[in-house]
Structure 1
Amino acid sequence: MINVLIVEDDPMVLQLNKRYVESINGFKVVATATDGEKALELLKTNPIELIILDVYMPKLDGIGFLKEMRKRFFKADVILVTASKEAESIDDVFKLGAVDYLIKPFEYERLKSSLENYRGRYELLKGKNVIQQEDLDRITKQNNKSPENRLQKGLHKRTLERIRCFMELNKEAYFTSEEVAEKMKVSRVTVRKYLEYLVEIDELQLEIEYGSIGRPRHLYKYIIRNERC
């Protein structure tokens, strides 16, 4: 379980973010604070892995909190959730080690994606003694290739989710595009586009089976660790 601290001065937003975070498997909000000073005190007594942090707060704002946190060598990761859009502020928090930055108002799916990406990184780094380059590539590509944020032209989110969920729920098996199309009652050409996209963003693996006669078969299998469906 990933222990989370939420730092937000608006009580309603704080409770909403708490519900959002705890709706996602693997996360538990163990403490909340309405300003940076209280948050620093909580870090002394609570084992925190991840902080959901606002920028504009009384007493000690988010950037001041981040600077002080690093001075005191607290090792928790930070996701910024704020209305601040100033480029200088965004640059500052990334230089201070924030793992993501969400600008209000944001959709729940964007926060969900950020937390799932973080969970994938957390589980990988905690679960292995030796890390391979392909492991690092997978977790660093997740933010850059998130389907919620960078969906290719011509692809539709709802269809993508249907095909993704089908592959996840049948994750022990390999399928051709024809087999997926038949089971989902979608055209083979359409299914092939979505399967290729899921391979590109590292959610499916592709194996090519060469027979003695005819074209090679393209076989797809679900590989991503972060379950969504």
Structure 2
Amino acid sequence: MVQEVNRQFIESVPGFEVVGMAGNGAEGVKLVKALKPDLVVIDIFMPALDGVQTIQQLRSDNEAVDVIVITAAKDKATIQTMLRHGAMDYIIKPFKLERIQQALENYRSFRIQLQQEGTVSQTEVDLLLLRRKTSAGSPSVAEELPKGLNALTLQQVIQYLTQQNRSLSAEEVAEQVGIARVTARRYLEYLEKSGTVHRAIEYGGVGRPTNRYVFVKN
């Protein structure tokens, strides 16, 4: 029943299809070898091989597959082990549908950027790593975001800022990202406090001065 619910959750996100389901870790490893999926969603508590043993076996076999964990296990040692073995995300039960959707959307963006030909800049690498850290619940981003801020929207704001060679107002960011101006200002103020963007005050014309923001490049 749980497998079926998770399958429906995953396939509710456009572009994702479940190609196989396993009843335990050992069966899961065999299915990965046979089906060659892009992504595996696993639990920690499984018979035959638990989640930790399963991801270790996949890495030992050099299987080119990404992993997202959905589990009730929330001890730090287990989380750290899974992340060290390359888990893209770690979702703790109980969870909401929106959390899986966010994880899959983040994963899709991550894959698309890595599949593009050519080289990348340091800024683009930083964004890829930020996407992984926010997906995996990095304490530096996901857990400390102020109430009302969303990690995925934060990534979109940062990505837009890095693509520009000029300072931007909250109104300009809001229009391009597709959020309200007051919301954009909250994200920009958060990024300023974290040192990710620099704020400058633009004077001139009639009315109040305008705050403009620019991405701080490494």
TM-score w.r.t. length of structure 1: 0.64
Distance 1:178 1:196 in 2: 11
Query: 1:176, CA displacement in angstroms?
Result: 5.9
Q: 2:185 aligns to what? A: 193
Q: 2:124 aligns to what? A: 135
Distance 2:143 2:212 in 1: 27
2:23 counterpart of 1:34: yes
Query: 1:33, CA displacement in angstroms?
Result: 0.7
Letter in 2 for 1:152: P
Paired-residue identity, %: 30
Q: 2:114 aligns to what? A: 125
SS at match of 2:59: helix
How many residue pairs match? The answer is 185
Q: How do 1:44-193 and structure 2 match up within 5 A?
A: 44-144=33-133, 150-153=144-147, 156=148, 190-191=182-183, 193=185
Query: 1:145, CA displacement in angstroms?
Result: 5.2
Distance 1:95 1:177 in 2: 37
In the alignment, is the contact (CA less than 8 A) between 1:177 and 1:195 conserved in 2?
no
Distance 1:49 1:178 in 2: 38
In the alignment, is the contact (CA less than 8 A) between 2:170 and 2:211 conserved in 1?
no
Query: 1:71, CA displacement in angstroms?
Result: 1.6
Query: 1:35, CA displacement in angstroms?
Result: 0.7
Distance 2:6 2:143 in 1: 20
In the alignment, is the contact (CA less than 8 A) between 2:169 and 2:210 conserved in 1?
no
TM-score w.r.t. length of structure 2: 0.67
Distance 2:117 2:94 in 1: 36
> Which runs of at least 4 in structure 1 moved beyond 6 Å after TM superposition?
178-181
Distance 1:120 1:198, change over 3 A: farther
SS at match of 2:13: coil
Distance 1:27 1:109 in 2: 15
Show structure 1 runs of 5+ residues with no match: 1-11, 165-174, 221-229
